[in-house]
Chain A
Amino acid sequence: MNNRLKVLRAERDWSQAELAIHLDVSRQAVNAIETGKHDPSLPLAFRIARLFDMPIEEIFHDEA
């Protein structure tokens, strides 16, 4: 699954650690999501969407 997390984070000038604090996860989790190595659970995807005030489908894109 592709996502725009890195772009959205950069727009706010946040580090991965800062985003991790906002999402209540580890920095390693943010890095894995950004690089597409980890697909977040639905609750975490909702937290991300709420944080950036965007619908989930505008952040995450199915590769299919």
Chain B
Amino acid sequence: MSYDPKVPGEFERSRAYNLQWLGLPAALLWLGFEILLASGLVGDAARDFVYLPAIFAAGSLVWPLGSLSDSDEFIQRQHLVAASWGMAISGLIAFVYVFPSLHRFLPEIDATLSFAVVAVTFNAALVTSRLRAG
């Protein structure tokens, strides 16, 4: 196999794999903040404190698409499991938005809070999948 400097090696793949462990704590921080914001316990000015975790958690949702051709099949399978859970939760949230009658039974869901819920779901499924794989 000829050497291609653009193709990530084992070191880069392992580093990317390990970096993604941070996705769940970042998403949880983001979600926790959004809940505090929605409940009025903190003001919008406090958003600066969760800026970096929110960016990282949002990026974790984009990452699988960007690494489709670079990551190996083991990692891609974990991304597939996590993405399936993330999409399922997105679909459930969409149901709430689409059917106004559901609004009577559920609290108003802010779009940013919805994204935080999806990010937590995605990363929780990813971590669960990884822990199962040992």
Using CB atoms and an 8 Å cutoff, list the residues of chain A in contact with chain B.
Answer: 17, 20-21, 24-29, 31-33, 35, 37-38, 40-41, 44
Q: In the complex, are the beta carbons of A20 and B10 less than 8 A apart?
A: yes
Q: In the complex, are the beta carbons of A21 and B133 less than 8 A apart?
A: no
Q: In the complex, are the beta carbons of A29 and B134 less than 8 A apart?
A: no
B9 within 8 Å of A (CB atoms): yes
Chain B residues within 8 Å of chain A by Cβ, number: 16
Cα(A20)–Cα(B13), bound, Å = 10
Given contacts A26-B71, A32-B74, 19 further A-B contacts (CB under 8 A): A17-B14, A20-B14, A25-B72, A26-B13, A26-B14, A26-B74, A26-B75, A27-B10, A27-B14, A28-B14, A29-B72, A29-B73, A29-B74, A29-B75, A37-B132, A37-B133, A38-B74, A38-B77, A41-B73
B1 within 8 Å of A (CB atoms): yes
Which of B71, B74, B75, B133 lies at the interface centre, i.e. has the most chain A CB atoms within 10 A of its CB?
Answer: B74
Pairs A-B, 9 closest by C-beta atoms: A29-B74, A26-B13, A25-B72, A37-B133, A20-B10, A32-B133, A21-B10, A29-B72, A38-B74
B69-89 interface (Cβ within 8 A of A): 71-75, 77
**A40 contacts across to B, CB distance below 8 A:** 73
Secondary structure of the A contact surface, majority rule: helix
Between-chain CB contacts (< 8 Å), 13 pairs: A17-B10, A20-B13, A20-B14, A26-B14, A26-B71, A26-B75, A27-B10, A27-B13, A27-B14, A28-B17, A29-B73, A37-B133, A44-B73
